Structure 1
Amino acid sequence: MRTLFSGEVNAAYGQIYVCSAYGHTLEDSFAGQRAGLCGGAVPGDLFLLTGTHTGSVPFAVELYETEPPLDADVWEDIVEVSFRPESNKIKLVEWDGGRYPLPLSETYRVRYHCRGMDEARGASRDVGEPVLDEYLLRFWPSPPAPDRVVKETSQAAAYWQEFARKQPPGLTAEERAEAERRVRDEEERIRLQQEMDDWGGHLPSDRLRNVRDKLRSVQGYPNGLIGLDAALVLAIDAAGPQEQRALARWAAHRACTTAGVSDIDWIARGLVELDRGERYSPPLDDPRRLRAAVLADEGVPRSHEGTPGLPQAAAFAALFDAAAADPLKAALDALLATAVTHGSAWRRLFAEVRRTFPATAVAPETTSDRQ
């Protein structure tokens, strides 16, 4: 035998729980049972009733390898139910949120022993005050079996036994599985509808789903390129890696030209390296060296504050983005940075993209085409 818990726990409204799922109502927990005091009708949960209304009660949890002794002469009220964990995080839970882990992993028979329920009924008790009622919960591996009343002595137990027998039967395992399936299907439908709304009525490919969270975020563009022109993003995805890489390089050139930095010697050299598929030479090979070069080079246009402005910062970002290993990410990030260099004229930029890269002008597939 192993003692999994021994101490005092706080009851509230005469309730304590064992939870591996989410917890359920009193009525659901006793649905279809004959035994009161321990509700086991909902898989993964036990709903335990106490005589004490509010406060601390002595409580123990024990685990046996085989069925333990009944000890009917020691305890006034005893009931049995079956218990199957719904997760590997099983806890003895107080009403106000206190939790005590219980290392349980099989299908068990549970025997709930109670003593002093009538004496404690409706009472409040603090730690250190005289004990009114006590409880013991014993687990042992066992296949599922109907609940049963082993011993009934107190009026409190009789009351809860009658309550349990008045509860209508709960869902069968098949009915519960079907209900859970319907909930999952509805959640998936809502998720897909939200995704379609984000993408202008179309579902993105798995490639776009994988790269979306990795795309560079830019201040002022909370939804990035998707928020500006989702159809163009879908078309760039469909265009394929060769076209994406070409678009990334084109965008970097356009960003540097628009920001007025393409004629600076080390930037011009970097654009040549980008076109050749070579690694950048200093200072473009390191963000810290690039920052130092930008601040030191008087040829970089400045804002009225004396620092490079937003178009220039976006152009440098486009250079880095265009060299990304993933061609789709490179194209989308570089194009967004280039859109920033164009400010409110980004629509004209996107129109030029579609003219320069005809594959991106193709309308995306409809949702029905993808199914």
Structure 2
Amino acid sequence: MRTLFSGEAHVAYGQIYVSSEAEGYDLGDHFAGQRAGLCGGAVPGHLFLLTGTHTGPVPLTVELGETEPPLDADAWEDIVEVSFRPVSGETVLAEWGGDAHPLDLAETSYRVRYQCRGLDEAHDTTRVAGDPVRDEYLLRFWPSPPAADRVVKETSHAAAYWHAFAREQPPGPTPEERADAERRAREQAERAELRRERDAWGGRLPSDRLRAVRKKLRRFQGHPKGGLVALDAALVHAIDAAGADDQRALAHWAAHRACAEAGIGGIDWVARALAELDRGEPYSGPLDDPRRLRDAVFADARVPRSPDGAPGLPQAAAFAALVDAAAGDPLEAALNALLAVVVAHDADCAPLLAEVRRTFPATAVAPKERSDDRP
């Protein structure tokens, strides 16, 4: 036998657990359908161990063998066996509301023997470190196919009580019923997530391309809340459905319009950048480096300022539109540059978005809803 844990484990309410999944511990569920108390194994991936001591440290040894170990019944007052299979690669001995001690158990089927002595002597007591030991426990694992739980030896009144408790618990769901319930719960959660996503995208699910660029879509704090999707979700979906040429053209249009709205289009190095954008060339300085661009913006007195002396929001949005319009992904470029010009416009954006639809007819009509848009 190989020792996985040996020492004093802290118990509370006379409970300690073996767990391979992070979820709550319900006493009745763990003993559902069992004949044996003391060690509940009815919940997959969990063992619910009962002790005589109510609160405090108890001596506990956990062992793993390759085959069934000798019973050693004379040394222990109460012995039960259950089956156990971890449901993840990490199994721990979990103290009630406290520490967790790793147990080196593979994801395979085990037989578990829980051996106890001193249950009656320690019943409902509190122990602190250094107090005399009243109860002790040994938990042994070995590979074995699933089998019914059993009471191997019963001596104490406490064990008799918990065996009677276990036999009062109605049978739990079968593995097939549990799997079906988990499947239905998973499907329900997936449908709810799709509904939330659909609502967030204006009443229809985004395409895979929109999902792919979602994390790259720019946000201007408070301008507007929810971004371009909140302003005109139908237009976002229409831009997504348009071809790459239309998307790239829209990005360039938005950069020009944003610079004009912000009053920076006539600055020589901004005009040069717009021309480079239209020709599909890399930006020359200072647009070729974010730090150089920032220095140029603050150094050039021709850039309109807000009362505090810094460039205003329309100007910041216009420079963002210049950067965004050159993005490698045309959809990302179009959506980010368009949001930037909305912010630079700094007024009712409905006429501006209507102008987009007139200028780029491919964006005038939202694509038809797909069947998978209805979760």
TM-score band by shorter chain is over 0.9
Over the aligned positions, Cα root-mean-square deviation in angstroms equals: 1.2
Partner residue, 1:115: 117
Partner residue, 2:278: 275
Query: Where do 1:58-77 residues align within 5 Å?
Result: 58-77=59-78
- Check the 8 A contact 1:112/1:136 in 2, yes or no: yes
Aligned counterpart in structure 2 of residue 153 of structure 1, from 148, 152, 155:
155
- Check the 8 A contact 2:5/2:62 in 1, yes or no: yes
Give the secondary structure class of the aligned counterpart of 1:120: coil
Give the partner amino acid of 2:168.
Answer: K
- C-alpha displacement of 1:139: 0.7
CA distance in 2, matches of 1:348, 1:323: 25
Partner residue, 2:35: 34
Q: Extract unaligned runs of 5+ from structure 2.
A: none
Query: Where do 1:9-20 residues align within 5 Å?
Result: 9-20=9-20
1:197 corresponds to 2:199: yes
- C-alpha displacement of 1:370: 5.2
Give the partner amino acid of 1:210.
Answer: A
- Check the 8 A contact 2:317/2:340 in 1, yes or no: yes
- C-alpha displacement of 1:335: 0.7
What do the CA deviations read for 1:113-164 (whole angstroms, capped 9, x no partner)? 1110000011110111100101111111111111111111111111111111
Give the secondary structure class of the aligned counterpart of 2:74: coil
CA distance in 2, matches of 1:104, 1:332: 51
Partner residue, 1:84: 85
CA distance in 1, matches of 2:24, 2:82: 17
- Cα 1:4/1:341, change in 2 over 3 Å: same
What do the CA deviations read for 1:30-52 (whole angstroms, capped 9, x no partner)? 00111110000111000000001
- C-alpha displacement of 1:306: 2.2
Greater Cα offset, 155-164 or 193-202: 193-202
Work out the percentage of aligned pairs sharing the same amino acid: 71
- Check the 8 A contact 2:52/2:121 in 1, yes or no: yes
CA distance in 2, matches of 1:111, 1:125: 25
Greater Cα offset, 86-95 or 301-310: 301-310
- C-alpha displacement of 1:65: 1.1
- C-alpha displacement of 1:240: 2.4
Aligned counterpart in structure 2 of residue 213 of structure 1, from 191, 212, 215:
215
CA distance in 1, matches of 2:46, 2:243: 51
CA distance in 2, matches of 1:99, 1:369: 44
1:261 corresponds to 2:264: yes
CA distance in 1, matches of 2:25, 2:307: 63
CA distance in 1, matches of 2:281, 2:327: 12
Give the partner amino acid of 1:148.
Answer: R
CA distance in 2, matches of 1:78, 1:367: 61
- C-alpha displacement of 1:305: 2.1
Give the partner amino acid of 2:313.
Answer: L
- C-alpha displacement of 1:292: 1.2
Partner residue, 1:309: 312
Give the partner amino acid of 1:18.
Answer: V
- Check the 8 A contact 2:201/2:229 in 1, yes or no: yes
CA distance in 2, matches of 1:304, 1:82: 74
Partner residue, 2:7: 7
Give the partner amino acid of 2:3.
Answer: T
Give the secondary structure class of the aligned counterpart of 2:346: helix
- C-alpha displacement of 1:97: 2.8
Partner residue, 1:224: 227
- Check the 8 A contact 1:201/1:367 in 2, yes or no: no
CA distance in 2, matches of 1:191, 1:369: 13
Give the secondary structure class of the aligned counterpart of 1:294: helix
Query: Where do 1:165-176 residues align within 5 Å?
Result: 165-176=167-178
CA distance in 2, matches of 1:6, 1:112: 14
Partner residue, 1:333: 336
Give the secondary structure class of the aligned counterpart of 2:184: helix
What do the CA deviations read for 1:304-344 (whole angstroms, capped 9, x no partner)? 22221111111000000111111111111111111100112
Give the partner amino acid of 1:304.
Answer: P
Partner residue, 1:140: 142
TM superposition score normalised by structure 1: 0.97
- Check the 8 A contact 1:118/1:155 in 2, yes or no: yes
CA distance in 2, matches of 1:217, 1:258: 19
- C-alpha displacement of 1:369: 6.8
Greater Cα offset, 146-155 or 221-230: 221-230
Give the partner amino acid of 2:78.
Answer: D
CA distance in 1, matches of 2:243, 2:55: 66
Count of aligned pairs between the two proteins: 371
- C-alpha displacement of 1:226: 1.1
1:318 corresponds to 2:350: no
Give the secondary structure class of the aligned counterpart of 2:132: coil
- Check the 8 A contact 2:202/2:229 in 1, yes or no: no
- Check the 8 A contact 1:23/1:45 in 2, yes or no: no
CA distance in 1, matches of 2:312, 2:136: 73
- C-alpha displacement of 1:99: 0.8
Greater Cα offset, 361-370 or 235-244: 361-370
CA distance in 1, matches of 2:25, 2:220: 45
